[in-house]
Amino acid sequence: MKTSFSKWSWTALRMLLGGILLYSSLYKIHSPAAFAHQIYNFKLLPVWAINPVAITLPWLQFISGGALILGLGTQGASALILLMMLTFQSAVASALLRGLNISCGCFESGGNPATWLSFGRDFLILLLAAVVFLRERKRATL
């Protein structure tokens, strides 16, 4: 019984992470200009890179989130999500340390300003991504 519960728990965590990524991609796919403006506000990328990132990144989120939900290519999808979350957390920490008053751009345009509290919330998503990645990597080697 324990194995079955464990299998369902891991599946639920994988699907939760996939759902978060899918949900966070939707506004960005629908409003690439607003997302590009939020990327610009971080003041980390050269201007020429902002539009390609604003167009490509949401689709990477959508596809990798969908892959986790469907259980397809989960090791690669979880690795990509972990990389995206590490990059995002670094960007938010950098903005907060530089005193920039920005919205994180996670789920909506012009949302609440990024704070250390929202950084902590997103850090939990990063931890979830790390756990799912490590689990998928372990599962692939069995």
Name the residue with tokens 């008053």. Answer: 101
Q: Is the pTM of this model over 0.85?
A: yes
Q: Is residue 38 part of a domain?
A: yes
CB 82 within 8 A of CB 128: no
Name the residue with tokens 């689709």. Answer: 59
pLDDT in tens, 18-57: 999 999 999 999 999 999 999 999 999 999 999 999 999 9
Q: Is residue 4 part of a domain?
A: no
Query: Considering its fold, how many domains does the chain have in total?
Result: 1
- What is the rounded CA–CA span in Å between residue 23 and residue 27? 8
Strands (E), the chain: none
pLDDT in tens, 50-106: 999 999 999 999 999 999 999 999 999 999 999 999 999 999 999 999 999 888 777
Q: Is residue 3 part of a domain?
A: no
Residue 113: phi and psi, rounded to 5, are -65, 150
Q: Is residue 106 part of a domain?
A: yes
